[in-house]
């Protein structure tokens, strides 16, 4: 289907009139009124374009060589009910006028008509068409914002909130009334408030986009991390008419990042040596991670170990039978625990106790092995 009415350029009219002189006259009059006009001599030619192009109104002759004006009206309404249809005829009857109105015709005008009367009807029809398009656009926007998984808000050119959707209220812990104006700042965590307000004021002053991660604090104390962003709305002559923005709940990501940072600190500071290798056969198990304790234990730097095989640590006194037992257990997806002789970088022997456990992915397949050394 065509785009929105009023989305750019003059309104387009559809004229269906089999009389060439009448059609050309109508086109000339309406072009002079500032409309874009398409004229067709048959109903089928006109209907071929309805639904593909956007028309602000249609003027349809009641008697056409292939279809009646009532049939064209009915099919236009079926294809795009946004188009007001004016039935224009020299053979009007009360019954045909009644049928046209019952089928949704905007007007039924008899020929010969005063061109000024017809132009007035066309302007009214186009106005109605644009009002309907605006209403549906607003309704569509409301529906989209209410079902959106992200918080959506609108602010005026001074940065005062004029609208927030239900999801925004759920994330921020405020009602729409509480969020209006600068009330939304009450939802921002006290430790973030000054920074966020300064960034917001800067965006307003420059008429630019706003982006920030911040915390909302609910009245009950619950904290929600969000990513907020806005885009300025263009006004007349390059001015900023307002701002439309979203807030996305990123609490899960922030908690995961915090957990990863904690895990990394724990591994870095742990006194137990830890090594992670890829899964697979004995030849495929390559080191992908060691903690500092493992590096200290073996005397190798981390970069010297990454990508290497554990054979780097074996020597003449390493028990091959223990290694074979370990590999049999790992091949079955089982854990291994035992004692081995390893060799440091400087050649000294190390008697170590090792426990190796599988690391499984989301679908249960083993992706890595993690080994702890005591």
> Is 176 in the same domain as 70?
no
Kindly state whether residue 51 falls inside one of the protein's structural domains. Answer: yes
Does the pTM of the predicted model rise above 0.95? no
Q: Which one of 222, 254, 286 terminates a domain?
A: 254
How many structural domains are present in the chain? 3
What's the CA gap between 269 and 295, in Å, rounded?
12
Query: Do the beta carbons of residue 232 and residue 243 sit within 8 Å?
Result: yes
Does residue 139 sit in the same domain as residue 20? yes
Same-domain status, 125 and 201: no
**Domain harbouring 189, CATH code:** 3.30.450.20
Domain presence at residue 4: no
Strand runs (DSSP E) across the chain, as ranges? 12-16, 36-40, 57-61, 85-89, 107-110, 151-156, 161-164, 210-217, 223-234, 240-249, 273-278, 287-290, 336-343, 349-360, 366-373
- Residue 29 maps to a domain: yes
Report how far residue 134's alpha carbon sits from residue 186's, in angstroms, rounded to the nearest whole number.
34
Phi then psi for residue 344, to 5 deg, are: -70, 170
How confident is the model at residue 58, as a pLDDT? 92
Query: CA 88, CA 262: separation in Å to the nearest integer?
Result: 77
Asked if residues 87 and 62 have their Cβ atoms less than 8 Å apart, the reply is yes
Do 315 and 348 sit in the same domain of this protein? yes
How many Cα neighbours within 13 Å face the side chain of 215? 12
Q: Which residues contact 148 (CB under 8 A, 6 or more apart)?
A: 165, 167
Tokens 């192009």 belong to residue: 53
The structure tokens listed for 61 are 């002759």
Q: Please report where in the chains the tokens 């170590």 appear, as a residue.
A: 352
| Residue with the two structure tokens 């290694």 | 323
One digit per residue, the tens of pLDDT, for the chain of length 374 reads: 454 445 557 899 999 999 899 899 999 999 999 999 999 999 999 999 997 888 999 999 988 999 988 899 889 988 888 899 988 876 655 555 566 666 668 887 777 667 788 888 898 888 887 877 767 666 666 766 676 789 999 999 999 999 999 999 999 999 999 999 999 999 999 999 999 999 999 999 999 999 999 999 999 899 999 999 999 998 877 889 999 999 999 999 999 999 999 999 999 999 999 999 999 876 778 999 999 999 999 999 999 999 999 999 999 999 999 999 999 999 999 999 999 999 999 999 999 999 999 999 989 999 999 999 98
Residues 40 and 105 in one domain: yes
What contacts 127, CB < 8 A, 6 or more positions away? none
Q: What is the CATH number of the domain that holds 139?
A: 3.40.50.2300
DSSP letter, residue 11: P
Question: 242 lies in a domain?
Answer: yes
């Amino acid at each position: 289907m065509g785009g929105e009415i009023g989305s750019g350029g003059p309104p387009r009219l559809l004229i269906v009139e089999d009389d060439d002189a009448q059609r050309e006259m109508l086109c000339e009059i309406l072009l002079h009124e500032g409309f874009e006009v398409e004229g067709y001599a048959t109903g089928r030619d006109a209907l071929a374009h309805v639904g593909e192009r956007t028309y602000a109104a249609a003027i349809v002759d009641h008697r056409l060589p292939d279809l009646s004006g009532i049939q064209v009206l009915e099919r236009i309404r079926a294809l795009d009910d946004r188009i007001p249809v004016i039935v224009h005829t020299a053979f009007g009857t009360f019954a045909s006028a009644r049928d046209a109105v019952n089928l949704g015709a905007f007007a039924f005008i008899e020929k010969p008509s005063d061109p000024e009367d017809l132009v007035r009807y066309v302007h009214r029809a186009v106005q109605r068409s644009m009002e309907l398009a605006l209403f549906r656009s607003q309704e569509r926007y409301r529906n989209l914002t209410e079902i959106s998984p992200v918080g959506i808000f609108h602010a005026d050119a001074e940065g005062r909130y004029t609208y927030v959707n239900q999801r925004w209220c759920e994330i921020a812990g405020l009602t729409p009334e509480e969020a209006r104006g600068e009330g939304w700042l009450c939802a921002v965590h006290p430790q973030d408030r000054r920074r966020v307000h300064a960034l917001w004021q800067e965006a307003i002053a420059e008429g630019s986009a706003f982006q920030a991660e911040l915390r909302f604090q609910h009245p009950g104390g619950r904290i929600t991390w969000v990513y907020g962003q806005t885009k300025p709305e263009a006004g007349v002559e390059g001015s900023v008419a307002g701002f439309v923005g979203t807030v996305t709940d990123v609490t899960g990501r922030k908690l995961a990042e915090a957990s990863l940072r904690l895990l990394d600190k724990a591994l870095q500071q742990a006194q137990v040596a830890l090594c992670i290798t890829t899964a697979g056969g004995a030849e495929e198990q390559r080191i992908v991670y060691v903690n500092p304790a493992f590096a200290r234990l073996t005397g190798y730097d981390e970069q010297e170990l990454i990508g290497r095989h554990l054979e780097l640590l074996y020597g003449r006194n390493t028990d091959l039978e223990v290694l074979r037992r370990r590999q049999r257990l790992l091949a079955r997806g089982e854990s291994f625990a035992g004692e081995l002789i390893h060799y440091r970088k400087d050649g000294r022997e190390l008697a170590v106790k090792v426990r190796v456990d599988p690391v499984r992915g989301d679908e249960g397949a083993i992706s890595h092995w993690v080994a702890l050394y005591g």
